[in-house]
Structure 1
Amino acid sequence: MAPRATWKGYVKLSELAFPVALYAGATTSKRVSFHVLNRKTGHRVHRQYFDEETEEPVERDQQVKGYETGEDQYVILQPEEIAEAVPESDKTVHIEAFIACQDVDTVYFDRPYYIAPSGGILGESFAVIREGMRRKNVAALGRAVLFRRVRKLLLRAQGPGLVANTLNFDYEVRAAEEVFRDLPEIKIEGEMLELAKHIINTKAGQFDPREFDDRYDLALAELVKAKMEGREIKAPKRPKEAKVVSLMDALRESAKAQKKAASSKRKKAEPAKRRKAG
């Protein structure tokens, strides 16, 4: 089944505008999910709001939103007042600037989306802008009203389309200095630095998300399957906590293990090479 667009509108760059469709780039639909049930009856249960003072249930039509201004003091906002504050969407992604792809710190990335042309010969305009961005190795910084909020977006060329990330606002991103300010400056050099470099080199690899696994989700799926089949549920073995005597000892042991693994790999490969040569 073809994916369904979550938003349709236009990308506007100066006087040029072309129709596009926005598709969710990530989904949680394949995760194991549960319903809350009544243990006695097996029926699903539903949430109910209660007044914290009277402990009486509050029906939906009696619920309003309030902003806390002090202890037990609130400014009440009516649904129509909130609706009026929601920015009106013109269904347009306004391109404000082109920037170097590496200029945006990844901590500002929020949700990923794919952008594709939504039809007609105007797909050519889409392709021209996309290819120009690819050749210049730049990203487009845009603005749009998405899902009732004004959002900043970073658009980048990817394959025949564009990938967009909504961006966190500056006030939403915690400054790294808040976490790192008390970390001491430690000068690393000599043998310790060489060992660290060696370990990093022996562990060099490539990014491949197909190798990722959600062990918690897999464990839940296996648990559900075992219950359905009436099998005995065995508790997984807990890994033993590693005891590190010193950083240097740990680095040396890691380096030895990496060298041993590399040597074993070479020995296995040599007979294969001889057989091929023969």
Structure 2
Amino acid sequence: MASRAIWKGQLRLSLVSIPIEIHSATQSGRQISFRQIHGPTGKPIRYEKTVPGVGPVKSEDILKGYEIGDNEYMLLKPEEIDAIKLETKKTFELVQFVGSSEIPPLYFEKPYYMVPTDDLAEDAYRVVRDALRRTDTIGLGQLTLRGRENLCAVKPCGDGLLMETLYYADEIRSAEPLFSEIGDEEPDDDLLAVATQLIKKKTAPFNAEAFTDHYDKALRALIEEKRKSGTVKRARTDDDEAPARGTNVIDLMAALKASLKGSDGGDDEKPARGKAKPSTPRPKAKPPEAEDEKPARKTPARKPAAKKTA
């Protein structure tokens, strides 16, 4: 299925204008969508736009209103909004360039492909693409897309250009109120060394195809099973037989060491929590030397754990 351009206009660099089209780089069609159904009748739920005391209304009678007081609105007609003249509706001008790694990742919102509209535009398009690649920079500008003026970044992507919409500064929430509650204590050197070793072991080139949406896969299997038989069996989840979670350094060290012993492929290790401050005394987990023994789910009594030796 051919991609449909969502924006057409000019990419401008100083006095150079390049006719371009912008296409979405992502697709949502693979996701399963549901209709809301009325259980007793099996009929789809419908939503109507209504006014109290009037009932259903026509789309052409609906205006945009900005609340200026308690139940008081300033009405704006579509033609009044459309009359707002923005050059960015038809022109995307690169007004600034920054280093390719200068923009924090949380500012990036959605990717789009930017392509030339015809053969005559390709020469200038390739010049901009290769100049960005040679200088290792990203171009910044603003573009009106779907009724909103977006801050956008442009960078080389293979043989073409990738445009990504960015969040404005006032749209980013500060992490300080959240991160400020994290303690300043340095992590244990031994734990840090084992965790670093585990990360190095699992480091590999990025391959998005290696990851699967397990929920989507299970949901499709559920739908297919129900379509064929009309009956559904509950699948057991990891939570059905989840082991008790430890809350001390010995548990974390044991889990990290067990992870290192695992295979390089799809490990089935269970995550362990980091060091915590217990409010009440709890029995300690087995030391790392006994990690290979599978613990029983229920025991009549617990023996005191051996003390950790240096």
Q: Which TM-score tier does this pair reach, normalised by the shorter chain?
A: 0.7 to 0.9
Report if aligned partners of 1:86, 1:149 keep a CA contact under 8 Å in 2: no
Give deviations 1:199-246, integer Å, cap 9, x for gaps.
222222332111222222222211221122125311121313443323
Q: Which letter maps to 2:78?
A: P
C-alpha distance in 2 between matches for 1:35 and 1:255? 45
Alignment length, in residue pairs? 263
Q: Which letter maps to 2:218?
A: A
Cα distance, 1:137 vs. partner?
A: 1.4
Report if aligned partners of 2:24, 2:111 keep a CA contact under 8 Å in 1: yes
C-alpha distance in 2 between matches for 1:215 and 1:259? 25
Q: Secondary structure of 1:124's match? A: helix
Q: Which letter maps to 2:13?
A: L
RMSD: 2.5
Matches within 5 A, 1:40-55: 40-51=40-51, 54=53
Cα distance, 1:157 vs. partner?
A: 0.4
Matches within 5 A, 1:21-100: 21-51=21-51, 54=53, 56-85=55-84, 87=86, 89-100=88-99
C-alpha distance in 1 between matches for 2:43 and 2:142? 45
Residue in 2 that maps onto 1:13: 13
Cα distance, 1:119 vs. partner?
A: 0.9
C-alpha distance in 2 between matches for 1:201 and 1:263? 11
C-alpha distance in 2 between matches for 1:7 and 1:95? 16
Q: Secondary structure of 1:126's match? A: helix
Using the size of structure 1 for normalisation, the TM-score is 0.84
Cα distance, 1:165 vs. partner?
A: 0.4
Q: Secondary structure of 1:104's match? A: coil
Using the size of structure 2 for normalisation, the TM-score is 0.76
Alpha-carbon distance change, 70 to 205 in structure 1, aligned in 2, over 3 angstroms: farther
Residue in 2 that maps onto 1:243: 244
Q: Secondary structure of 1:122's match? A: helix
C-alpha distance in 1 between matches for 2:165 and 2:230? 45
Alpha-carbon distance change, 242 to 79 in structure 1, aligned in 2, over 3 angstroms: farther
Report if aligned partners of 1:198, 1:255 keep a CA contact under 8 Å in 2: no
Task: Tell me whether 1:164 sits opposite 2:163 in the alignment.
Answer: yes
Residue in 2 that maps onto 1:272: none
Residue in 2 that maps onto 1:230: 229
C-alpha distance in 2 between matches for 1:260 and 1:183? 30
Cα distance, 1:95 vs. partner?
A: 0.5
Give deviations 1:225-272, integer Å, cap 9, x for gaps.
1122125311121313443323422332223323322599xxxxxxxx
Q: Which letter maps to 2:120?
A: I
Q: Quick check: 226-235 or 111-120, which moved more?
A: 226-235
The structure that is helix-richer by fraction is 1
Q: Secondary structure of 1:111's match? A: strand
Gaps of 5+ in 2: 266-310
C-alpha distance in 1 between matches for 2:43 and 2:200? 56
Q: Which letter maps to 1:154?
A: A
Q: Secondary structure of 1:93's match? A: strand
Residue in 1 that maps onto 2:118: 119
Report if aligned partners of 1:86, 1:148 keep a CA contact under 8 Å in 2: no
Residue in 2 that maps onto 1:260: 261
Give deviations 1:70-127, integer Å, cap 9, x for gaps.
4434333333333334746552210011211111111111111011111123301111
Structure with more relative contact order (C-alpha pairs < 8 Å, separation 6 or more) = 1
Alpha-carbon distance change, 234 to 84 in structure 1, aligned in 2, over 3 angstroms: same
Residue in 1 that maps onto 2:3: 3
Gaps of 5+ in 1: 265-278
Q: Quick check: 38-47 or 110-119, which moved more?
A: 38-47
